[in-house]
Amino acid sequence: MQAFETLESLVVPLDRANVDTDALIPKQFMKSIRRTGFGDNLFDEWRYLDRGQPGQNIRRRPLNPDFPLNQARYGGARILLARENFGCGSSREHAVWALRDFGIRALIAPSFADIFYGNCFKNGLLPIVLPAARVDTLFAEVAATPGYTLRIDLASQSIRPASGAPIAFGIEPARKHRLLHGLDDIALTLQRAERIRTFEARRRASEPWLFN
């Protein structure tokens, strides 16, 4: 998993509350568990004017010009600004894979659905919870300032706008450690590989009949 230390990027606003995982990646595109290849269909029903089906050539599909991710001023943005309860609905991890595959590395919202929030940390995305009033201010600043960027520093747990004071955010220490060091569940387990081997050897010696 790619580590997350700092990120400076354009911000793309998605001014909708209760964005669910079916909106993030519709069910018909969940045909793989490879974690890649989902970015083309992120927000499929909102990004395109036709109904999407697996295997379509996205370059031939009509884009919705009113959807922020299709607008030139937000091109290449890696920070997504959202409203409350982002990522609600089903527990599909594909929703996080689609965001990551599209290029999003950080999310800012007043709240996230619990399972989605946990899945972000398992896949190298940083979900940042800020008070609703602060999020309102960020939406206003993004709308008023073409090319609006933020710099996120995970180690110091701060967001730095182009002007103004840094914005502090909270994060659980264990999840912060995972992101800073690029550790997914497998990598965390492998950090204890020697202890696991020692345990297995001791168990094999004391209860050999279990291994026949």
Show the beta-strand stretches assigned E in the chain: 6-13, 79-81, 106-109, 126-129, 149-153, 158-161, 167-168
pLDDT band (50, 70, 90) for residue 87: very high
The fold adopted by the segment(s) 6-181 is Aconitase; domain 4 (3.20.19)
Instruction: Determine the Cα–Cα distance for residues 32 and 78; give it in Å rounded to an integer.
Output: 24
pLDDT digits (tens, 9 = 90+) for 143-161: 999 999 999 999 999 999 9
Question: What value does the mean pLDDT take over residues 35-59?
Answer: 89
Q: Left if phi > 0, otherwise alpha if psi is -120 to 50, otherwise beta: which for 174?
A: alpha
Instruction: Determine the Cα–Cα distance for residues 171 and 132; give it in Å rounded to an integer.
Output: 17
Q: Are 116 and 95 in contact (CB under 8 A)?
A: yes
Query: Given this model, what pLDDT does residue 199 score?
Result: 83
Token digits of residue 196: 């696991």
* Domains in the chain: boundaries: 6-181, 183-212
Query: Given this model, what pLDDT does residue 191 score?
Result: 66
Burial of 181 (0-12, 13-18, 19+ CB in 10 A): middle
Quickly tell me which residue has 């709240």 as its tokens: 111
pLDDT digits (tens, 9 = 90+) for 184-207: 777 777 767 788 787 887 888 888
Return the bridge partners of 107, or none.
80, 127
How far, CA to CA in Å, does 133 sit from each of 23, 116, 136, 149, 208? Answer: 25, 23, 5, 19, 62
Q: Under 8 Å CB-to-CB from 138, ≥6 apart: which residues?
A: 11, 81, 108, 130
